[in-house]
Structure 1
Amino acid sequence: MGKGAGSVTVGYRYYMTMQMGLGRGPVDEILEIKVGDKTAWPVREGETAFYDTTATEDRLTSIDAPNLFGGDRSEGGIQGSLTIAMGLPIQIYPTWFKNLLGGDVPDFRGVVTMIFDGLVCSLNPYPKKWTFRLRRLTKGWDGPVWHPELVAIPLVSSTGTMIKGMNPAHILYECTTNRDWGRGYDRNRINDADWLAVAQTLYNEGFGLCMKWNRKSGELQDFVGDVLRHIGGTIYTDRQTGLLELKLLRNDYVVSELPLFTKNSGLLSVEAPEYGSMAKAVGEVIVKYREVIVNEDREVRAQNLGVIQSSQGVNSSPVTYSGIPVFGLAAAVAQRDLKAASTQNAKFTVRLDRRASRIYPYAAFRISDPDSGIEHAILRAGKIDYGKLEDGVITVEAVLDVFGLPSTSFIEQEPSAWQKPDAAPAPASRVYVREGTYQELVQSMSRAELDYVEPDDGAIAIFAGRPTPMCLGYDILSKAGTEAYVQSGGGTFAPTCRLAGAIGHYDTDVAFDGLLDGGLIEIGTLVQIDDELARVDDIEVNADGASGSMTISRGCIDTVPSSHADNTSCFFTYNSLGNDRREYVTGETVTTKILPLTSAAVLDASLASEQAVTMAQRQFRPYPPGRVRVLHGSSLNTPAYDGASVVGNFEISWTHRNRIVQDDQIISHEDGDVTPEDGVTYTLQFFDSDDNLIVQYTGITGNSRVFTGVYSSLVGDMTVRLFAYRNTVSALFKHEFPLTRSF
């Protein structure tokens, strides 16, 4: 069986036991774990099939993404056990972890935690950042969930993924009533009917939010204010009932039912309205939001073309709503804000009597004062000064009502021309496996190492074309005989192309198409075409980057010129030889599979095809002779494979080759003589048209043989075979060409 090469340490795998705190627990569901911005669980980056399910309760599971960062050839991946603890009040932490920490260790109740134990990276000793996507809707409430049928609002992300946002009314309700971390108000202090109406409106609008709060990010009241800013709402205490009210700025009123204040019904005075300058009017609102599925900040723009034209410029107003998780909702909010910001809004200061005591912030009301030129106006209350009881005056700063969330958004998300590349590895369709040549050993080993190579030693050489642009390289599985596959070694992808038309033995100008990685081709290096090795002397690539032509020198190293069919694959071997780092002996059959890898994964071995090669002592064999010619007549010199037709006497000539002298040089079939290798002789065989041996000449030491009329048996249509031998070992490839003779 194959002899394993000496192991070489090229790096290390790094393992850790990590405890991670995700936040207050419990939560409804843990949806995704990313490491280094790549999905590791419950689906691997670049794949669509889930290998695990999301977590809704305490679980012992695992992360199985060992090639997330390219496997052992790059930065490894994530693989190991995963303990999920939701932080329930009765939670008992794993004993093994407590023993690992030592001392008094709590059970971490009330906190969502994870324990990962396993591989975190390879080669690079710096673990990457872990991030988590969670959902909390109904878990962890202080008491029963308030109207659970409205808490989850379905939304569609830009990727087409369905997500669930939380109803902002429920967020505010919990902030108000939770006794652990909220304000701790009794639920009886809330006007349940009005809050429920707001929750229903937000549910109907699809106004679901995805946002988090912790004490480090600010005070709770700031978080509540941010939620109200998102939805265009207000919370206040009703001055008659003492209950907390939640109201929205919406066009949800009947004009005739709004309170009307005139000089006869509570209106004391109206100061002259203030109008904003049109030059300062906002013509564009830019809403920045957080697309939660891809975990990216994005933006949407809404424009008022009339304002832009009248102001002869774009006055933009950026605003951030970090709790908005999808484009559609961001577009609707952008239009809402644009309507308010682009209107030349009049500001009023209105003085009313105590009949206005029920007006609350953001409330809509009507005024009519013909003496001031106001026949009828609908205002929205802003700042309210209720004054002193003995004064009987309430002062309201208000604006004309232009608020409300549009039911239809006319902003369309422009489809991106960019498509996320498929990071899944694919099987390689262009693969060539053979035994390594002596020249390749010389290039890869020192002289001292070459001295230890035995005649029967051999190694495999693999060349493969890149199956997809995302594939970075490949791992090699190999086995000798019936042994099990061993993963050892790998390679980089070779530039490849296909012949655009068949070529004969002596064609040197070759057309090609289907070129891949053409920028890696080096002039003066080798190209593998079937079993033949040729030297690339020049190459021209067409504008399409995939077709062109190349000039090659044929029959290099230990090969001979051959004919090749149209569409034959060609592999440019420079810097792209794959090897499994194992030694084999003559007669062994080596079976291989190559597993292309991407930054996300390595190809499943069951999808890779097998390629087999039988070791034949290639590196030890002599090279075949070059420049074979048939000389006949007075001056005719016919290349052997052209099929000479001779009359009478003829001569077969060739040039010597020497693997030791040639070393790592690339000598072609048509190049001149090289000092012959010690012990090399040549054998000529002649066969008739029925493939019967006519005669054989062995032990030829020169570089030609003359045949006169004495050799009368050599007549008619024949096949000539020319071998090189060193002692009893022949060259791997022989010359075989037609010859016709008459007298």
Structure 2
Amino acid sequence: ITTGYKYYLGVQLVLCSGEIDEVLQIRFDDRRPPAGYAHTPDVTQISINASGFFGGEDSEGGVQGSVYVYRGTATQPADSYLEARIGESLPAWRRVCYAVFRRVYLGTSPYIKAVSFVVRRCPNGLGLTNGAENIDGDANPAAMIYDILISPASENGLGLPVGFLDVAAFRSVGQTLATEGLGLSMLQDRGTTAKDLVLEILRHIDGVIYVEPTTGLLTIRLIRNDYDPETIPELDVDSCTVKSFARPSWGDLKNSVRIGYVSRDAGFIEKTAQAQDLAGIEVQGGEVSLQDLTLRGLSNATNAQQAAARSLAALAYPLATTTIEADRSAWAFRPGAVFKLIWDPLGISGMVCRVVRVGTGRLDSGKIEIEAMEDVFAVDWTGYSTPPDSGWQDPSGDVPALTAQVALAAPYEAVKDYGSLAADVQLAITLAAAGVTGVSLGYRAYVSDGSGGWAPPVDVPFFTPSGVLSTAIDELTSEIVVASGLDTDLVEAVSAPDFSLGVNVAWIVHDGVEEFIAFQNVVQGESYITLQVVARGCLDTAPTAFPAGTRVWFISYGSQIVNIRGPVPPTVNVYNDIRFQAFNNQSEFPFTSCPTSQVVATTPARSAKVYCPTDVHINGESYPASITGELTVSWSHRNRLGTWSYADSGKTGSPEAGTEYDILVYGELDTLVHTESGVTGTTWTYLEATEIAESGLGRLNDHLRVIVRTYGTGRTHEAIREVEWEFDRS
């Protein structure tokens, strides 16, 4: 009986033009599911494990799977999932930021939830120091303007040469804005000119741009209370003539200002901040005169409240405007500069004014025309502060210890889309099972820094489904029973094509020996799950016997990639400790009591090593107990760089270039009797006469042990796994 459908999506979504710095969130219907974010120079892998996010199977299901976000870099690779699905090579679409959903489960409703991403780019062509380009998660406006001015038209900029700009002035303004905490988060999703975008940024920060006549450079200035009224230049009756002077009436003023901004903490919804001049309301007979302003580049209540108060000061007080004709003593006046006006005919004894526009006049007149207005910072005013927090406390309680944890060096298939890494960086996979009791939201993975400390942690807001083998398995077991464990109810059957793509992959490990398996069918029992149609020894592993109680990690349902320290010659191996710290909204497990796992970074990295062969047969049988006659060993190639399927454990027609196999034969006395080196084919026979001559017994061995060892190009490295089998001869 069909009771409903589950919907999966594989799709490519273009996010924006150009490069971004990082991916912060993925959202569905403006809600953020628990997810892990693994960052490399080119790609961010988002691992989502929230099958009940939309209400579970009784409602609209949830979301689960991997989303790869290519950050628009100049070195990002093509997406292997898209290439496998389309069946041909694809461009990397460099300088375009896009996301790829790799068969992501999106619930039980046929209507796709609205998908959105939160990304960040904080340009720093200015070379700001001490992290000033990133102001509490917002971009530095000075660096934004500078980036727009110098970027070519193909990247939505003005294409000005750097030599046309006063870089020192832009840096100074950038440092000031960082000190003030005034950053901007702006989404440019509609047609506009680069000039208009610069003007919009200036409106947010109260800044001006102009060409400095003495240098010919484009410079920037902030309108701030950054002067001493006693030391600024003065204009009086001897140096100027006031051509016009006016003040607005009180009835023309605004006594309330409301700023519209987009709150990042509230989930990118539009909120308002308001400031009122109570005295102004009283003067206007209790009538509220409201001015609405929109500053969507502001992302938090503090900056919005400051903007409201700053705007109110200019709108609630009758600031004078004036036009002045000055002599050449005003030659250094620039837009945004301040001066003091002393004009006895109007009774002005020292009014601080701000230059709005400077007209340089004509060469034969010696006069400079200045448009100015009374400076708002010469007027006292009071604004309201940001409202206090609500005081609500999360009732989650103390976080329990993890049930199990492990870290492993990442194989090639897990890291192939991450682009190039620094020589001293490798990648590892972390897996953790939640505590049995209490409330846990995830864990933090701390990697040792090699100096006795820990690198900044990676927050992993999910766990990996995990259980243990109900019964022992051997190399030929084709149906695997796993005792139900934490989140194993999430594990489900997949279609044949998805089985081939590795949508269902588990990892089994015992005493340092490991095996990847792929599986298609899942039967959920009361206290166990049964895996059927199983491909054994996938990726760089081989079929292995494991005892009952061995832990099984359903790695494709939740895993985290982390950076670890890699060896730099002459160092061969680096041992990385990784500490797992469980957390919830209320607390985190005591750090000093957190268990530590270790993963070894090798030379070369595990991801760079060839795969061992698959489908190994002895005299035509897979892992036989005994044979008769002459010994023949056969196998199938595997090529980590080629095209292959999980369904047959990765068989390929040809090996990775340079692959060689050695076959080592041990006789019934368990001594090495023969080594066949440099085999490049897929079969080798131990001639009967040769075996008799080498056995030391004058006859064929009654018992044999065979090892197939794999080497990479030039025999510079060995595969992480060798295939070994022991059997009798009858």
Give me the TM-score of the superposition, normalised by structure 1.
0.50
Letter in structure 1 aligned against 2:275: A
1:348 and 2:322 matched:
yes
Residues 384, 154 of structure 1: CA spacing in aligned structure 2 closer, same or farther, 3 A cutoff? closer
2:31 aligned partner: 38
Structure 1 residue 198 displacement after superposition: 1.5
Are the equivalent residues in 1 in contact too, given 2:38–2:45 (CA < 8 A)?
no
Letter in structure 2 aligned against 1:310: V
Supply the distance in 2 between the matched residues of 1:385 and 1:413 (Cα, whole angstroms). Answer: 45
SS in 2 for 1:337: helix
Tell me which moved more, 299-308 or 62-71.
Answer: 62-71
Supply the distance in 2 between the matched residues of 1:59 and 1:243 (Cα, whole angstroms). Answer: 40
2:19 aligned partner: 26
1:173 aligned partner: 146
Q: Which runs of 5+ in 2 are unaligned?
A: 397-438, 440-480, 490-523, 527-730
Residues 56, 335 of structure 1: CA spacing in aligned structure 2 closer, same or farther, 3 A cutoff? farther
Supply the distance in 2 between the matched residues of 1:307 and 1:407 (Cα, whole angstroms). Answer: 11
1:182 aligned partner: 157
Supply the distance in 2 between the matched residues of 1:170 and 1:186 (Cα, whole angstroms). Answer: 15
SS in 2 for 1:225: helix
Structure 1 residue 98 displacement after superposition: 2.9
Are the equivalent residues in 1 in contact too, given 2:233–2:339 (CA < 8 A)?
yes
1:82 aligned partner: 67
Supply the distance in 2 between the matched residues of 1:88 and 1:488 (Cα, whole angstroms). Answer: 38
Structure 1 residue 30 displacement after superposition: 0.8
List per-residue Cα deviations over 1:477-514 (Å, max 9, x = no partner). Answer: xxxxx99779999xxxxxxxxxxxxxxxxxxxxxxxxx
2:341 aligned partner: 367
Structure 1 residue 234 displacement after superposition: 0.3
Q: Percent identity?
A: 29
Supply the distance in 2 between the matched residues of 1:184 and 1:211 (Cα, whole angstroms). Answer: 21
Residues 60, 192 of structure 1: CA spacing in aligned structure 2 closer, same or farther, 3 A cutoff? closer
List per-residue Cα deviations over 1:147-174 (Å, max 9, x = no partner). Answer: 243534443xxxxxxxx22221111111
Supply the distance in 2 between the matched residues of 1:341 and 1:409 (Cα, whole angstroms). Answer: 13
Residues 405, 189 of structure 1: CA spacing in aligned structure 2 closer, same or farther, 3 A cutoff? farther
Structure 1 residue 77 displacement after superposition: 1.4
Structure 1 residue 33 displacement after superposition: 0.6
2:278 aligned partner: 305
Supply the distance in 1 between the matched residues of 2:381 and 2:17 (Cα, whole angstroms). Answer: 36
Are the equivalent residues in 2 in contact too, given 1:249–1:403 (CA < 8 A)?
no
Supply the distance in 1 between the matched residues of 2:488 and 2:46 (Cα, whole angstroms). Answer: 30
1:505 aligned partner: none
Residues 488, 261 of structure 1: CA spacing in aligned structure 2 closer, same or farther, 3 A cutoff? closer
1:316 aligned partner: 290
List per-residue Cα deviations over 1:195-219 (Å, max 9, x = no partner). Answer: 22222221111111111335x3411
1:702 aligned partner: none
1:149 and 2:142 matched:
no
Residues 134-283 of structure 1 aligned to structure 2 (within 5 Å): 134-138=119-123, 146-155=127-136, 164-179=137-152, 180-214=155-189, 216-265=190-239, 267-271=240-244, 273-283=245-255
Structure 1 residue 103 displacement after superposition: 6.5
List per-residue Cα deviations over 1:583-611 (Å, max 9, x = no partner). Answer: xxxxxxxxxxxxxxxxxxxxxxxxxxxxx
SS in 2 for 1:276: coil
Residues 54, 324 of structure 1: CA spacing in aligned structure 2 closer, same or farther, 3 A cutoff? farther
Structure 1 residue 125 displacement after superposition: 0.5
1:64 aligned partner: 49
Supply the distance in 1 between the matched residues of 2:392 and 2:482 (Cα, whole angstroms). Answer: 46
SS in 1 for 2:32: strand
Letter in structure 1 aligned against 2:256: E
Supply the distance in 1 between the matched residues of 2:308 and 2:213 (Cα, whole angstroms). Answer: 33
Letter in structure 2 aligned against 1:37: D
Residues 193, 290 of structure 1: CA spacing in aligned structure 2 closer, same or farther, 3 A cutoff? same
List per-residue Cα deviations over 1:689-726 (Å, max 9, x = no partner). Answer: xxxxxxxxxxxxxxxxxxxxxxxxxxxxxxxxxxxxxx
Supply the distance in 1 between the matched residues of 2:45 and 2:163 (Cα, whole angstroms). Answer: 41
2:299 aligned partner: 325
Supply the distance in 1 between the matched residues of 2:101 and 2:211 (Cα, whole angstroms). Answer: 48
Structure 1 residue 91 displacement after superposition: 2.4
Tell me which moved more, 116-125 or 30-39.
Answer: 116-125
Supply the distance in 1 between the matched residues of 2:525 and 2:75 (Cα, whole angstroms). Answer: 55
Residues 362, 60 of structure 1: CA spacing in aligned structure 2 closer, same or farther, 3 A cutoff? closer
Letter in structure 1 aligned against 2:164: R
Tell me which moved more, 85-94 or 108-117.
Answer: 85-94
Supply the distance in 1 between the matched residues of 2:46 and 2:115 (Cα, whole angstroms). Answer: 17
Residues 260, 340 of structure 1: CA spacing in aligned structure 2 closer, same or farther, 3 A cutoff? same
Supply the distance in 2 between the matched residues of 1:369 and 1:405 (Cα, whole angstroms). Answer: 19
Letter in structure 2 aligned against 1:332: Q
Supply the distance in 2 between the matched residues of 1:40 and 1:264 (Cα, whole angstroms). Answer: 70
Residues 485, 357 of structure 1: CA spacing in aligned structure 2 closer, same or farther, 3 A cutoff? same
Supply the distance in 1 between the matched residues of 2:334 and 2:37 (Cα, whole angstroms). Answer: 52
Residues 464-503 of structure 1 aligned to structure 2 (within 5 Å): none
Structure 1 residue 325 displacement after superposition: 1.1
Structure 1 residue 61 displacement after superposition: 5.1
Supply the distance in 2 between the matched residues of 1:90 and 1:331 (Cα, whole angstroms). Answer: 42
2:76 aligned partner: 91
Supply the distance in 1 between the matched residues of 2:345 and 2:380 (Cα, whole angstroms). Answer: 35
Supply the distance in 2 between the matched residues of 1:404 and 1:185 (Cα, whole angstroms). Answer: 37
SS in 2 for 1:235: strand
Are the equivalent residues in 1 in contact too, given 2:43–2:76 (CA < 8 A)?
no
2:536 aligned partner: none
Supply the distance in 1 between the matched residues of 2:294 and 2:140 (Cα, whole angstroms). Answer: 19
Supply the distance in 2 between the matched residues of 1:38 and 1:402 (Cα, whole angstroms). Answer: 42
Structure 1 residue 107 displacement after superposition: 1.3
SS in 1 for 2:376: coil
Supply the distance in 2 between the matched residues of 1:414 and 1:256 (Cα, whole angstroms). Answer: 38
Count matched residues: 410
SS in 1 for 2:279: helix
List per-residue Cα deviations over 1:543-585 (Å, max 9, x = no partner). Answer: xxxxxxxxxxxxxxxxxxxxxxxxxxxxxxxxxxxxx999xxx
1:703 aligned partner: none
2:111 aligned partner: 126
Are the equivalent residues in 2 in contact too, given 1:275–1:345 (CA < 8 A)?
yes
Supply the distance in 1 between the matched residues of 2:290 and 2:45 (Cα, whole angstroms). Answer: 51
Supply the distance in 2 between the matched residues of 1:406 and 1:371 (Cα, whole angstroms). Answer: 26
1:594 aligned partner: none
Letter in structure 2 aligned against 1:237: V
Supply the distance in 2 between the matched residues of 1:581 and 1:89 (Cα, whole angstroms). Answer: 50
Residues 283, 361 of structure 1: CA spacing in aligned structure 2 closer, same or farther, 3 A cutoff? same
Letter in structure 1 aligned against 2:106: C
List per-residue Cα deviations over 1:44-85 (Å, max 9, x = no partner). Answer: xxxxxxx55566642455322211101221111111222232
Supply the distance in 2 between the matched residues of 1:382 and 1:270 (Cα, whole angstroms). Answer: 15
Give me the TM-score of the superposition, normalised by structure 2.
0.51
Supply the distance in 2 between the matched residues of 1:131 and 1:303 (Cα, whole angstroms). Answer: 36
Residues 420, 347 of structure 1: CA spacing in aligned structure 2 closer, same or farther, 3 A cutoff? farther
Residues 646-661 of structure 1 aligned to structure 2 (within 5 Å): none
2:262 aligned partner: 290
1:109 aligned partner: 94
Structure 1 residue 192 displacement after superposition: 2.9
Are the equivalent residues in 2 in contact too, given 1:75–1:122 (CA < 8 A)?
yes
Tell me which moved more, 79-88 or 109-118.
Answer: 79-88
Structure 1 residue 145 displacement after superposition: 5.0
Are the equivalent residues in 2 in contact too, given 1:41–1:52 (CA < 8 A)?
no
Supply the distance in 1 between the matched residues of 2:482 and 2:353 (Cα, whole angstroms). Answer: 86
Structure 1 residue 407 displacement after superposition: 12
